[in-house]
Amino acid sequence: MATGRLVEVYLDLLSQPCRAVHILLTCTKIPHRVRTMALRKGEHRTLDFTKLNPMQKVPVMVDDGFVLTESDAILKYLATKYDVPEHWYPRQPERRARVDEYTAWHHTNTRPHAAKVFILEVLLPAQSGSLVDEARLNRALSDLDDTLDKLESMFLRRQPFLCGDDITVADLLAACELTQCVSLQPLGGGRDVLKERPQLQRWRSRVQSAVGEAFDKAHGVLYALRDRRRARL
Amino acid sequence: MALELYLDLFSQPCRSVYIFAKKNNISFDFKKLSLLDGEQYGEDFGKISLIRKAPALRDGDFCLAESIAIMLYLAEKFKTPDFWYPADLQQRARVNEYLSWQHTAIRMHGSKIFWLRLMIPKVMGVEVPEDKMNAALDDLNSSLKLVEEKFLQDRPFIAGDQISLADLVAIVEIMQPVGAGLDVFEGRPKLSAWRDRVQEAIGKELFDEAHQYILGAQESVKTMDSNKMQFFKPKILRLFM
């Protein structure tokens, strides 16, 4: 077990991959310390943080001087170093390969397509006061639709979780990307990207059940933001 | 049944898998897949991988996509030398960190240059507007800078003193814009020195063999049937224009 200092994680819980890391830490009760970052205040562009991570991104993990970026690397490191239940990142080669397959595919599918919808519909208008670019948003929604089709027909085909019978770090990464679009939809617009997708909704419920209160804990900041937006409408 | 690897050596991730398997004397059936001919959309390949991308692996009943997953699986199964994917937690994390970052950085930027410089003029019959090309070059330069300054620093290789999967994945991606006629090593002595070390660790013969198609791309594009390539037009419009 780790001696000395607690592992530190630099997280902004409005960021999808940060939430995935937070959920794993909370769920598995790995002793840790959260350094809260506010990207909206530009805290990732400070000199100090840039020294820590020249990519100026979160999450970042610091374990007794060892600095690690990239959420999937962090999740795999934590799952390996600490005595967590094996299902998070299985050791059996074929089961592990399925997780590695999803975490690779995630980068150019779930992550960019879900994030783009959020950026176009919520972030950009909030930052610039401009209207939503409907043409670009429709293309983004179409790309996301494609991704959701693949999640259902490929990864969730005949299995309850993305990589098999049990929850893995892959499910955390995917679930947190999808909550970004869902939670911050303008109330008037009323779009839930999983609305027509009972299979994905069931998967999401399974993920929430499997992680318990860690899910809501990680999403507290996001929910609060959503509620404030709704109250203003 | 022998291990099958479905590969198109025009594709960067196929090259890394090819080099890794050959270097480690892993015996496999080379199943040639022509991406430009759309073979990944065929019915047979669909049985191997619904993701419909190359590379893909079939090991008995077990099918796998994503080059990184494939190499990690092969490393474990064939007990390749530790340096490829070190068992040491921190070194392994360094490798994972690079493998994760590169998807939307060097891989994306290098690929884009290849398409903008070579493939789009061929398929669409037009040269790409200068501002788009410059923006793409800026992105590639930023990624290369990060490779040098964050991932290499003073180390001979990304994870330390020896080559790993991180270097292998990096080199095949960096060779893609080279195949389009852009010498990314010029003016970058640190990167060049690293490339030399990587080539030596892989073995020049194997390196050259894996890269002969991409390095011949400028020539082979001239004889490509642009009618066949119209298939790619919608994707290109979406991704690059």
Render pLDDT for A23-65 as a digit per residue (tens, 0 to 9): 999 999 999 999 999 998 999 999 999 999 999 999 999 999 9
Task: Provide the CATH topology of domain B4-80.
Answer: Glutaredoxin (3.40.30)
Confirm or reject contact between A139 and chain B (CB < 8 A). Answer: yes
Name the token pair of A127. 């930052």
Tell me the C-alpha distance between B92 and B99, whole Å: 11
Residues 6 or more apart whose CB falls under 8 angstroms from that of B183 comprise none
Which pLDDT score is estimated for A184? Answer: 58
Q: How many CB atoms within 10 Å of residue B219? A: 8
CA B183 to chain centre: 17
B89 touches chain A (CB under 8 A): yes
Is residue A16 very low, low, confident or very high in pLDDT (cuts 50, 70, 90)? very high
pLDDT of residue A186: 46
Q: Which amino acid is at B20?
A: F
User: ipTM, 2 decimals?
Assistant: 0.94
The architecture that CATH gives domain B89-240 is Up-down Bundle (1.20)
Count how many Cα atoms sit within 13 Å of the Cα of residue B106 in the half-sphere of its side chain.
27
Q: How far is Cα B110 from Cα B133, in angstroms, rounded to an integer?
A: 12
Note whether A187 contacts B: Cβ–Cβ < 8 A.
Answer: no
From the list B66, B77, B108, which residue is nearest A100 (CB)?
B66
Q: What is the pLDDT along chain B (241 residues), one digit of tens a residue?
A: 789 999 999 999 999 999 999 999 999 999 999 888 888 888 889 888 888 899 999 999 999 999 999 999 999 999 999 999 999 999 999 999 999 999 999 999 999 999 999 888 877 788 888 999 999 999 999 999 999 999 999 999 999 999 999 999 999 999 999 999 999 999 999 999 999 999 999 999 999 999 999 999 888 888 877 777 777 777 777 776 6
Confidence of residue A191 (pLDDT cuts 50, 70, 90): low
SS3 B36: coil
B146 CB neighbours in chain A (<8 A) are 54-55
CB of B171 closer than 8 Å to CB of B200: no
Strand partners, A60: A10, A69
Give the phi and the psi of residue A46 in degrees, each rounded to 5: -70, 160
* A59-111 residue pLDDT tens: 999 999 999 999 999 999 999 999 899 999 999 999 999 999 999 999 999 99
SS3 B134: helix
pLDDT-derived band of residue A124, with 50, 70 and 90 as boundaries? Answer: confident
Q: Torsions phi, psi of A186, nearest 5?
A: -60, 135
Question: Scanning every residue of chain A, which has its alpha carbon at the shortest distance from the alpha carbon of B49?
Answer: A154
Element (H, E) at A90: none
Query: Model pTM greater than 0.80?
Result: yes
Q: Where are the domains of chain B?
A: 4-80, 89-240
